[in-house]
Structure 1
Amino acid sequence: MTFVLDHLVFTPADVDLARSPLAGKIDAETFVLGAFNPGMARLRNGNLLLMVRIAEALRHPKRDGHIHSLRWSDGGYRLDAWPLALVDTADPRAFTMAGGRWKAAALTSLSWLLPVELDPEGRRVEAVHYDCAVAPAASYQCYGIEDARISRVGERWLMTTCSVSPERQCTTLHTSGDARDWRLEGIVLDHQNKDMLIFGGLIDGEYWAQTRPLGNDWFAYPPGSEWRAGPSINLARSPDALHWKPHDQPGIRPHAATTWTARMGGGAPPVLTPDGWLSLWHGVEPSGAVGIYRTYWSLLDPHAPDIVCRTAHQPLIEPAPHLTEPLKDQMYLANVVFTTGLVDGGDVWIVASGEADLACRITHVPKSAIA
């Protein structure tokens, strides 16, 4: 597909770590492993705002026979040392503990959120608001805050994030009156859930959200079913955006007609269009260590979003190696586009994505592509 605009708008080189929340607070050199997976909103002044996930990593995590992890605790940042003999360090981003019945991991990076203001079309950076960065502030965020998704409902912006700690992997909610200064409201989903996306408007007076609970065990559909067992996009409803009840009917499920959606999850918060709620989501084709991530679309009934009115088995947005070619020396992952934001751009949809877990990608998708 030919896009009107498709470029990387923010990369690790654009981050000033001297203004990081961690600056001067740990006795170790860090670098930006990735500046990616941005939540996106339209500001009142017409500009776009990205809440960029900054994965700030230890430059030399291994030393003196140990590997070190970064952790927030009681208002400060800590380095934890683990003997190399007790861990698996095959993944440069994390390490896992050897032995034990349950898989346990720690991170060599810590993620925080950086507000980056773009022009109305997402072509250039207008300002970077380090003073409004969102960093860990509670014990359930001690390993970081990941993958913001932003929705505007009335005059309030709602931002969901994944908060990571030994206590739990949970979904947390921040709220704002201007999409720049955010207030932490706390945990809204206590189970492991990587992609909670609040719909950009009420349905019959209720808040709705897409969710994607994690799990290892799945029950099979009957032989010949059009659906494939595995992770799917569920739904939940709330009277106040704080207290959520799972919806009884399923949402978007992996289709048996394609292996490209063997695993799936939510992408951008659904936006209401004349044809229904436009939902962009990711499907993962098995390949290599993490698979190939692509972006797909579905249109949901405006009054009953558990009903899929139209969808497509072919991807809308695919990974773009030519965009990351200038950054190839920094790459540790390939074949991933992870869409996290969607706003109306007139004749186009402006889509924000993380490219290769490295940088922020803005794509202008012609509205005619979704029909």
Structure 2
Amino acid sequence: MTQCSLDRLIFTPDQVDLSRSPLAGHLAVETYVLGAFNPGFTRMPGGNLLMMVRVAEALKMPIFHGKVHAIRWDDGAYKLDAWPLSAADTSDPRQFTLHGGEWKVMALTSLSWLLPVELTPDGLEVVAVHYDKAIAPHASFQCYGIEDARISRVDGRYLMTTCSVSPERHSTTLYSSIDALHWTFEAIVLDHQNKDMLVFEGLIEGQYWAQTRPLGHVYFAYPPGSDWRAGPSINLATSPDSLHWRPHLHPGIRPHAATVATARMGGGAPPILTPEGWLSLWHGVEPNGGVGIYRTYWSLLDATDPSKLIRTSHMPLLEAAPALTAPLAERMYLHDVVFTTGIVDAGDHYIVASGEADLACRISHIPKSAFAG
């Protein structure tokens, strides 16, 4: 049950001007916006809010001349790669899987780049779309795109983690800014597949902290009767400088055996400090035969040791809202997905940003009473 006082889609694919895309003029084929979603989210120095929107720009017709195609950045230009249809499973409009290997190998029918969208202080109106500040691939380790930004303001500086995708690696990359608009690439900070690295919005005893979510295909079982279920979990790491990260010795937020809604889980919004501790919004996924049902949950973590859980809730904070996406029904390719990516304090409530159905950006106002003990 959604626990918000206000809920709306604030940015949709129709609001993206592809004539101003980083890909414009590079490809001799037509593209479209598959989704404008999963926004990094923060408050700018002047009070307005900023969403760093993931724009998945896809091929209108990925299959032609008997082959399936993918967009790839290569040395300052964008190119098309082609594979024989007989070698690929093309049932998913977002990607195709290549047959014949000993492990899963896939390519994307879209390439993602990041678009800064400025909002009013309440997050309810678009003020400006900053195409001139868009972030696009610039190196081979992100040749298939840059995905799912998360923004934290720490010690007067904005830090943005992103997922950079390539055949070389599936890495986490870090950008920094002093105003949330002009971003500088810093480094690859995690070199293994990790979709959800979230930097805490504040130092703890002079150290940066982050939630991480390494992926794998094998998980060892907890003992019978354990409170926990084996599978992807939200881990912790610390850093002296935001660049060099060490995994924390104690576990973070783990999938709970009492609910199928955390059969798969990962970080959502960067944790923010409240009078009671760190508020962490995260996603849990219930299996349903497809990608799963994505919902947003919350946990409160100890202020000085985030590996200590103060309280949590098995009731979802946010669920997919079909009424919001009804006007976009003809564009829908996923259902039952809300993916929260940011939170800011707004006095008696929080403003929460999410991706809805991998399609659009959703803004929710959630009263602070929703997190009461």
Paired position in structure 1 for 2:82: 81
Give the match for residue 284 of structure 1. Answer: 285
Superposed counterparts of 1:32-71, under 5 Å: 32-71=33-72
- The unaligned stretches of length 5 or more in structure 2 are none
Distance between the aligned counterparts of 2:121 and 2:144, measured in 1? 33
Distance 1:226 1:60 in 2: 48
Residue-pair matches, total: 371
CA positional deviation for 1:94 = 0.7
Question: Partner of 1:247 in structure 2?
Answer: 248
Q: Aligned-pair distance for 1:4?
A: 2.0
Deviation at residue 126 of structure 1 after TM alignment: 0.4
Q: How many angstroms does 1:216 deviate by?
A: 0.6
Q: In 1, Cα distance between the equivalents of 2:104 and 2:221?
A: 25
Deviations 1:105-164 (A, max 9, x none): 111100000000000011010000000000001100000000000000011100000000
Q: Are the equivalent residues in 1 in contact too, given 2:22–2:136 (CA < 8 A)?
A: yes
SS at match of 2:182: coil
Partner of 2:362: 361
Alpha-carbon distance in 2 for matches of 1:148, 1:3: 23
Deviations along 1:295-333, one digit per CA (max 9) or x if unpaired, are 000000000000010111111111101100000000100
- Partner AA of 2:160 in structure 1: M
Q: State the 1:183 CA deviation.
A: 0.7
Aligned residue in 2 for 1:202: 203
Aligned to 2:330: 329
The CA distance in 2 between the partners of 1:100 and 1:359, in whole Å, is 34
1:346 aligns with 347
Q: Distance in 2 between matches of 1:125 and 1:331?
A: 23
Question: d(CA) in 1 for partners of 2:207 and 2:260?
Answer: 35
In the aligned structure 1, how far is the partner of 2:197 from the partner of 2:54? Answer: 16
Matched residue SS, 1:270: strand
What's the CA shift for 1:252? 0.2
Whole-angstrom distance in 2 between the partners of 1:279 and 1:86 = 42
Which residues of 2 match residues 237-276 of structure 1 at below 5 A? 237-276=238-277
Secondary structure (helix, strand or coil) at the match of 1:278 reads strand
Question: Hey, what does 1:124 align to over in structure 2?
Answer: 125
Q: CA deviation at 1:90?
A: 1.1
Q: Is the 8 A contact 2:3 2:370 kept in 1?
A: no
Q: In the alignment, residue 90 of structure 1 is paired with which amino acid?
A: S
* Aligned match of 2:143: 142
| Secondary structure of 2:241 counterpart | coil
For the residue of structure 2 that corresponds to 1:229, the secondary structure is coil
Could you tell me how far apart the structure 2 residues matched to 1:252 and 1:363 are? 24
Name 2:21's counterpart in structure 1.
20
How much does 1:3 deviate? 2.3
1:312 corresponds to 2:332: no
- Could you tell me which amino acid in structure 2 is paired with residue 25 of structure 1? H
**Pairwise CA distance, 1:22:** 0.4
Confirm or deny: 8 A CA contact 2:174 2:189 kept in the other structure: yes
TM-score normalised per structure 1: 0.99
CA RMSD of aligned residues (A): 0.7
1:88 deviates by 1.0
For 1:107 and 1:262, locate their aligned partners in 2 and report how far apart those are by CA, in whole Å.
Answer: 25
> How far 1:2 sits from its partner (Å)?
5.2
Q: State the partner residue of 1:177.
A: 178
Q: Percent identity?
A: 71
CA distance in 2, matches of 1:223, 1:171: 35
Equivalent residue letter for 1:124: E
Contact 2:269–2:281 (Cα < 8 Å) also in 1: yes
Amino acid across the alignment from 1:93: R
Q: What's the CA shift string for 1:259-286, capped at 9, x where partnerless?
A: 1111100000000000100000000001
SS in 1 for 2:57: strand
**Which is worse superposed, 141-150 or 82-91?**
82-91
Is the contact made by 2:295 and 2:320 (CA closer than 8 Å) also made in structure 1?
A: yes
- Mapped to 1, the partners of 2:106 and 2:150 lie a distance apart of 25
Q: 2: distance between equivalents of 1:309 and 1:148?
A: 27
Residue 93, structure 1, aligned to residue 94, structure 2:
yes
Q: Is 2:319 the counterpart of 1:297?
A: no
- SS of structure 1 residue aligned to 2:329: helix
Task: Output the CA distance in 2 between the equivalents of 1:187 and 1:81.
Answer: 29
Local SS of the residue matching 2:136 = coil
In the superposition, the TM-score normalised over structure 2's length comes to 0.99
Give distance in 2, aligned partners of 1:100 and 1:148. 31
Post-superposition, which runs of at least 4 consecutive aligned residues in structure 1 deviate over 3 A?
A: none
C-alpha separation in 1, matches of 2:219 and 2:135: 35
* C-alpha displacement of 1:42: 0.2
2:193 aligned partner, one-letter code:
Q
